[in-house]
Amino acid sequence: MKSKISMDKPVVEMDGDEMTRVLWAWVKEKLLMPYVDLKTEYYDLHVLNRDKTNDQVTFQAAEAVKKWGVGVKCATITPNAERVKEFNLKKEWPSPNGTIRKILDGTVFRAPITVKSIQPAVRFWKKPIVVARHAFGDIYDGIGIRFEEPGSAEIVYKSEKGNEKKVSYPKFSGPGVLQGVYNLDKSIEGFARATFKYAIMNKMDLWFATKDTISKVYDARFKEIFNTIFEKEFKEEFKKLNINYNYYLIDDAVARVVRSEGGFVWACKNYDGDVFSDFVSTAYVGTLALMTSELFSPEGYYLSEAAHGTVQRHYYRYLKGEKVSTNPTALIYAWTRGLKRRGEIDGNKDLVNFSLKLEEAVIKTIEDDRIMTQDVANLAEPPIKAVVTSEEFIDAIKKNLEKLLKL
Ligand code: NAP
Ligand code: MG
């Protein structure tokens, strides 16, 4: 046995809930710790620990990413009324992802993990489509009022210096709801730069789309910022690499995405990104478990996670002693991407190489061995050699990994 790969600096590890917590531990135990002298700064984001710490642990974990630069996150429960009852929580704590994204102010890039045996539902798609989601503001930090009678409302902005701006909603003729949302230039600029840089790094075209014909102040500001930053900072580099920046109206973009052959980054505002990342991933690979999710912040902070949730239904079956076939691929990729990033920052080639080999081992297991979990088997073209449990799948990956590492 060769010696383990060492790490200079830790990655921030955020543990999570339910089935993904179980898989998280297995992935570490079987696929990471035997080969890497894993250094992590551990934060337990289990819903009960968030409750116990009044959610402080979530804030501490996000701050730790600012300190160390790199974090990996397991899926976590966002409590709703049912969950409050189930776990006897003090309250419906906010989404940890929301909290963390707000603190890091990053852009989330979601890309399908493509395997040859799964054909995209959209038959024109040949190359991956990466959805870049602005992870700050809009309805995710919006406020709302439900009103019961006819009336009126206005939005008043007061500057710290005492300047005031006011706009009125149309008169309300009866009961209804209203909403106020905001964003900040600095965050939109960070979003724009992150997506231009990602496009350059991966030599892909960049698409950006909003509804600026209707949202003449809000969305128009996004468009303006993207154009200005492109012209000033990225136009030359794009030209050199022979890649393009295209702005569309969001509905036009959707039609074009479906008719395209893929191979570009699609920058989306927060809500569009929430919806279209699920749309693209489902249409591309059919399961959120074959999807990477990476957050890049303007300051260079990085967080990787799985795009799916805690897979509650599988967990309850697992608790009853059933063997489950939950797919750990996205969780494995959360680790490989985090460790790769750590290795790149620290100049640790062995760690980078290990991460790439582990990803290769996952793909080999599905593509060449044709061993897969149930969700993938439901989508894959025959032949399928074996539909396996999570543990068996991890063991099959481990075999391929050891071959690739020549152990
Ligand atoms: P989910 O955990 O993503 O699971 C929904 C369904 O998708 C599962 O029941 C399963 O379908 C399938 N699925 C998801 N991941 C899979 C995997 N790795 N392998 C195989 N199948 C997979 O979404 P949810 O049930 O709506 O949410 C559960 C909890 O997760 C909620 O408390 C929610 O707050 C939380 N959540 C967290 C995050 C996050 O931390 N990033 C994101 C979303 C949701 P079948 O049952 O049909 O097999
Ligand atoms: Mg979503």
DSSP 208-257: EEE-TTTSTTHHHHHHHHHHHHIIIIIHHHHHHHT--EEEEEHHHHHHHH
pLDDT tens-digit series, residues 166-212: 999 999 999 999 999 999 999 999 999 999 999 998 999 999 999 99
Q: Are 349 and 400 in contact (CB under 8 A)?
A: no
Q: Are residues 337 and 387 in the same domain?
A: yes
Q: Are residues 200 and 248 in the same domain?
A: yes
Residues with CB under 5 A from ligand 2 (ion): 274, 278
Residue 250 vs residue 2, higher pLDDT:
250
What average pLDDT does range 357-364 have in this prediction?
A: 98
Element (H, E) at 56: helix 56-68
Supply the residue whose CA is at minimum distance from atom 24 of ligand 1.
309
Q: Are residues 149 and 280 in the same domain?
A: no
| CA gap 265, 263 in Å, rounded | 7
Supply the residue whose CA is at minimum distance from atom 41 of ligand 1.
75
Q: Are residues 256 and 128 in the same domain?
A: yes
Ligand 1 pocket residues where CB is under 6 Å: 75-78, 97, 288-289, 305, 308-313, 326-327, 375
Q: Are residues 264 and 127 in the same domain?
A: yes
Q: Are residues 192 and 311 in the same domain?
A: no
What average pLDDT does range 302-310 have in this prediction?
A: 95
Under the banding of pLDDT at 50, 70 and 90, the label for residue 101 is confident
Domain containing residue 271:
119-136+183-285
Nearest CA among 317, 103, 36 for reference residue 27: 36
Residue 58 has pLDDT above 70, yes or no: yes
Which atom in ligand 1 lies closest to the alpha carbon of residue 95? Answer: 34
Q: Which ligand is nearest to the CA of 276?
A: 2
Beta bridge partners of 207: 246, 266
> CATH code at 104?
3.40.718.10
Q: Are residues 239 and 107 in the same domain?
A: no
Residues 6+ apart with CB under 8 A from 170: none
Supply the residue whose CA is at minimum distance from atom 11 of ligand 1.
311
pLDDT at 106: 83
pLDDT at 242: 98
Residue 334 has pLDDT above 70, yes or no: yes
Residues 6+ apart with CB under 8 A from 404: 357, 360, 361, 364
Supply the residue whose CA is at minimum distance from atom 17 of ligand 1.
327
pLDDT at 224: 98
Residue 1 has pLDDT above 80, yes or no: no
Under the banding of pLDDT at 50, 70 and 90, the label for residue 136 is confident
Among 256, 285, 314, residue at a domain's last position: 285
Q: Are residues 249 and 131 in the same domain?
A: yes
* 279 Rama sector, left if φ>0, alpha if ψ -120 to 50, beta otherwise: alpha
Residue 28 has pLDDT above 90, yes or no: yes
What average pLDDT does range 371-383 have in this prediction?
A: 94
Beta bridge partners of 262: 127
Q: Can you give the pTM of this predicted structure?
A: 0.90
Pocket test for ligand 1, best of 86, 308, 318 (most atoms within 8 A of CB): 308
Q: Are residues 262 and 236 in the same domain?
A: yes
Among 252, 285, 318, residue at a domain's last position: 285
pLDDT tens-digit series, residues 141-170: 899 999 999 999 999 999 999 999 999 999
Q: Are residues 98 and 207 in the same domain?
A: no
Which atom in ligand 1 lies closest to the alpha carbon of residue 77? Answer: 32
Residue type, 116: K
What average pLDDT does range 355-374 have in this prediction?
A: 97
Q: How far from 153 is each of 68, 139, 165, 176, 178, CA to CA, in Å?
A: 45, 18, 14, 12, 9
The string of DSSP letters for 169-223 reads PPPB-SSEEEEE----HHHHHHHHHHHHHHHHHTT-EEEEEE-TTTSTTHHHHHH
| CA gap 305, 381 in Å, rounded | 28
Provide the number of structural domains found in the chain: 3
Reading the block at residue 396, the tokens are 């099959």
Distance 75 CA to ligand 1 centre (A): 9
Supply the residue whose CA is at minimum distance from atom 31 of ligand 1.
77
Which atom in ligand 1 lies closest to the alpha carbon of residue 330? Answer: 18
Q: Are residues 228 and 299 in the same domain?
A: no
Helix, strand and coil content of the chain, in percent to the nearest 5, comes to 45, 20, 35
What's the distance, Cα to Cα, between the start and end of the chain in Å?
6
What average pLDDT does range 387-398 have in this prediction?
A: 98
Q: Are residues 254 and 123 in the same domain?
A: yes
Beta bridge partners of 268: 133
Q: How far is CA 339 from the centre of its chain?
A: 16
The CA-based diameter of the chain, rounded to the nearest angstrom, is: 76
Distance 9 CA to ligand 2 centre (A): 32
Q: Are 252 and 209 in contact (CB under 8 A)?
A: yes
Among 262, 285, 308, residue at a domain's last position: 285
For the chain, percent of residues with pLDDT exceeding 90: 90
Q: Which ligand is nearest to the CA of 327?
A: 1
Supply the residue whose CA is at minimum distance from atom 13 of ligand 1.
311
Under the banding of pLDDT at 50, 70 and 90, the label for residue 105 is confident
SS3 call for 263:
strand
Count of Cβ atoms closer than 10 Å to residue 163 Cβ: 8
Q: What is the CA radius of gyration of the chain?
A: 22
Under the banding of pLDDT at 50, 70 and 90, the label for residue 63 is very high
pLDDT tens-digit series, residues 269-299: 999 998 998 889 889 888 889 999 999 988 8
Distance 309 CA to ligand 1 centre (A): 4
Pocket test for ligand 1, best of 310, 362, 376 (most atoms within 8 A of CB): 310
